[in-house]
Amino acid sequence: MTILGTAFGMAFYLLHSVSGESGYAQNDFKRTHLFASLKLQICSSPGDLEDAEPDDYSFSCYSQLEVNGSQHSLTCALDDPDVNSTNLEFEICGALLEVNCLNLNKLQDMYFIRTKKFLLIGDSEICVKLGQKSITCKIMNIVKIVKPEPPFDLRVVYREGANDFLVTFNTSHLKKIYVKDLLHDVAYRQEKNENNWMNVNLSSTKLALLQRKLQSGAMYEVKVRSIPDGNYFEGYWSAWSPSYHFRTPETNGTGKMDPVLQTVSILSFFSVALLVILTCVLWKKRIKPIVWPNLPDHKKTLEQLCKKPKKNLNVSFNPESFLDCQIHKVDGIQARDEVENFLQGTFPPPLEESEKQKLVGGVQGTSWPSEHAVLTPETFRGDSPLRCLPGNVRACNIHELPSSRSPNCRDDGKNWSRVYQGLLLSPGTTNGALLPPFPFQSEIVTLNPVPQGQPILTSLGSSQEEAYVTMSSFSKISEL
């Protein structure tokens, strides 16, 4: 308006200079000029028009390819919603098939078009037109302003075996031919934390969220959106998909064990405990003899044969302390033939216990003739000295048994009777030779403390029959 006023003023001055000679014209001209200048002043005074800024017709657009079959869409909108959009039109020219330009249709505050005629190569010009006049234009490339369709069918599944949450969703772009490759943004948060969104970018439609990274027993919200991957097709983020809500399972402090695993672990514990107890109990009697068997020891075996002496064992070499024991003296040793004859008549094999006792008793009670040598099993013991025949005895070695023997002579006689019987019945005597209870003519049984397992009779003389005391018979004896 200022410029217009100035132009008018200059025009009036020019007119004045051209026709300034006429008097009455001068007055009229002056009056008109004054009026014009006043008008100019009025017009140029500060008002709404001068300070009024031009309408902002800036706009933005986005495209969606194959939104309906093979049809594409273009949507534009003015950035300033307050702009009077009456009679405004949008037009796109360039990069079109068969036509030069296309007009967009108006829908409320937006302008859009749906067409197949986008070439998808090269730039287009989009203009805002008021009538036939273009107000503002922008150069855009349809493939650089692509806005994908939002994903859908968002689901979250808890996988107990993997201890994670599998997030899956679908997108319509998987079936399209142009914009197939998208970048997805999965956002999730705990519902009580309103603005604490966690984002994960991925190119596939599946995502696994680890359970340990989420809080147990909490409600979560998840949503997803997409954008072109940038390889030729570019653009904007799509709208968010509908949210999906899920709850994470509760987890105990120690963790819930599988009941089968729990049962197996309890049974295993008790089995191991029972095994340990049985091992401790049966170690000495059953397990150790098998694992670490004891080697045969003659001394121990001998000790086992004989009873342990009583505590009040009275060991003495004083003959007066053995006054209670019956001492049978050996008056002499009878000749062998007589002994054999005697034996054949009185000792049938096998000897019975009772007969042997009688024999022993007989030997004890009766007094043999001095010519006869009587050697009872008792005499082997040494509690009573052997009766040696003064005549025929070559050697008469009397060895007392160790002091472990008790002065109770009768009790030990039983043991010796058993020993004697065992010796009689030993395999070494299979030839039928019986071990005579009496020594042979020339030898007297010597009693020496021998190791366990070895035969007590060290020599049997040069008799025809020799009896062998084997280790096996001895071990049998030790078992007794």
Partner 1 sequence: MITLAYSYLMLDLVSFRYIFGIPPLILVLLPAASSDCDIEGRKGNEYEKVLMISINRLDNVIEIGSNCPTNESNFLKKHSCDDNKEAMFLYRAARKLKQFLKMNISEDFNLHLLIVSEGTLKLLNCTGKVKERKAPSQGEGQPIKNLEENKLLKEQKKWNDLCFLRRLLEKMKTCWNKILRGAKDP
Note the residues at the interface with partner 1 (CB under 8 A).
70, 95, 97-98, 116, 119-122, 143, 177-178, 231-233
Residue closer to partner 1 by CB (options 134, 141) is: 141
Residue closer to partner 1 by CB (options 66, 164) is: 66
Answer whether 126's CB lies under 8 Å from 137's CB: yes
Task: At 276, give phi and psi (nearest 5°).
Answer: -65, -40
Q: Give the count of alpha carbons within 13 A of 93, CB side only.
A: 10
Q: How far is the CB of 236 from partner 1 (least distance, A)?
A: 18
Q: Which residues contact 302 (CB under 8 A, 6 or more apart)?
A: 449, 450, 451, 452
Residue closer to partner 1 by CB (options 114, 189) is: 114
Residue closer to partner 1 by CB (options 115, 463) is: 115
CA-to-CA dists, residue 374 to 163, 336, 363, 458, angstroms? 97, 12, 7, 19
Residue closer to partner 1 by CB (options 95, 222) is: 95
- Neighbour tally for 366: CB within 10 Å: 9
Q: How far is the CB of 96 from partner 1 (least distance, A)?
A: 9
- Neighbour tally for 56: CB within 10 Å: 12
Residue closer to partner 1 by CB (options 71, 454) is: 71
Q: How far is the CB of 120 from partner 1 (least distance, A)?
A: 5
Question: CA–CA separation, 193 vs 249, rounded Å?
Answer: 18
Question: CA–CA separation, 135 vs 131, rounded Å?
Answer: 10
Residue closer to partner 1 by CB (options 146, 156) is: 146
Q: How far is the CB of 74 from partner 1 (least distance, A)?
A: 17
Q: How far is the CB of 127 from partner 1 (least distance, A)?
A: 20
Residue closer to partner 1 by CB (options 70, 475) is: 70
Take residue 16 and report the two structure tokens written for it: 């004045």
Q: How far is the CB of 71 from partner 1 (least distance, A)?
A: 10
Q: How far is the CB of 152 from partner 1 (least distance, A)?
A: 25
Question: CA–CA separation, 8 vs 14, rounded Å?
Answer: 10
Name the CA dihedral angle for 28, 34, 37, 38, rounded to a multiple of 10 degrees. Answer: -130
Take residue 337 and report the two structure tokens written for it: 């033939």
Question: CA–CA separation, 385 vs 404, rounded Å?
Answer: 17
Q: How far is the CB of 181 from partner 1 (least distance, A)?
A: 10
Pairing assessment for the beta strands 244-247 and 105-107 based on DSSP bridges: unpaired
What's the DSSP call for residue 49? H
